[in-house]
Amino acid sequence: MLAAELINQMIPPLKLSDSAQLALHWMQEFRVTQLPVIDGTVYKGIIHEETIIDSQNDGQEISAYRLDLPDLDVKPETHFYELIQLAVKNGLQIIPISDHDGNYMGVVSVSEAATIIAQLIATQGPGAVLVLYMKSIDYSLAEVARLVESNDTKIMSSTVSNDSIDPNYVRLTLKLNRTDLTRVIATLERFEYKIVAQFQETDTFNNDKERLDLLMRFLNI
């Protein structure tokens, strides 16, 4: 699943001209301690609740405060595993998403993304995730499944989404029941499927799961 599919349109962005008092009100209403800030349609950074509280002046405009992560550039095709890693690294509750023209699209709620990954891990057991990129006209889950199963591997779940840059292409995310995808990848590439990402249950995958567990405990999920 990609960032574009996880965007939460209910959490509003702040404008530079909004008051810090409004920011605190929205943070309380949406149960977050961070909100994105935009200038027109352009993402400018993230403001934290403690930044406002420490200033002891919630009557100021948002433009008066220091914003964190102004250079954060997360695109709609970012995979949700990468979102979780980014959240852990930067201590984020929300991750702003911008299109390729720099226009703000919305935020991904880290707790919602973490819940999705947790359900994937808990309900489907060990395995690996594979992301394929192909023309929409070439998409056939039955054909992909045939190639995968020819290597004694089963598809546990799948999601498909349109590419945010070129609507003529799609991304297919597969959860497979094996951790070693060497033969599966070789078969798919032989039939000219493009593999754009893979997440295998190696030490790296286990480290990601450990970080996810820590993140979920922090969020009290």
- 3-115 architecture in CATH? Roll (3.10)
Q: CA–CA separation, 110 vs 82, rounded Å? A: 11
Q: Is the pLDDT assigned to residue 203 strictly greater than 70?
A: no
**What letter does residue 153 receive in the DSSP assignment?**
-
- The strands making up 169-176's β-sheet, listed across from edge to edge, are 155-162, 169-176, 128-135, 194-199
19 close to 56: Cβ distance less than 8 angstroms: no
For tokens 């810090």, name the residue. 20
Structural contact between residues 144 and 160, judged by C-beta atoms closer than 8 angstroms: no
Q: How confident is the model at residue 159 (pLDDT cuts 50, 70, 90)?
A: confident
| Banded model confidence at residue 117, pLDDT cuts 50, 70, 90 | low
Tokens linked to 194: 């493009």
How far, in Å, CA of 156 to CA of 123, rounded? 10
pLDDT averaged over every residue in the chain: 85
Q: How confident is the model at residue 4 (pLDDT cuts 50, 70, 90)?
A: confident
Q: Is it the case that residue 19 has pLDDT exceeding 80?
A: yes
Angle (CA) 4-170-73 rounded to 5° is 35
Cβ density class 96-117: b for 16+ within 10 Å, e for less: bbbeeeeebbbbbbbbebbeeb
Average pLDDT over residues 7-21: 94
Question: What is the domain class of 127-200 according to CATH?
Answer: alpha beta
pTM above 0.95, yes or no: no
> Is residue 151 within 8 Å of 193, Cβ to Cβ?
no
Q: Where are the domains of the chain?
A: 3-115, 127-200
Residues 61-93 pLDDT 10s: 999 999 999 999 899 988 877 887 788 788 899
- Cα dihedral 129, 219, 15, 42, rounded to 10, equals -20
Q: Are 150 and 187 in contact (CB under 8 A)?
A: yes
Cβ burial of 127 (10 Å; 0-12, 13-18, 19+) is buried
Backbone angles phi, psi at 128, to 5 degrees: -150, 160
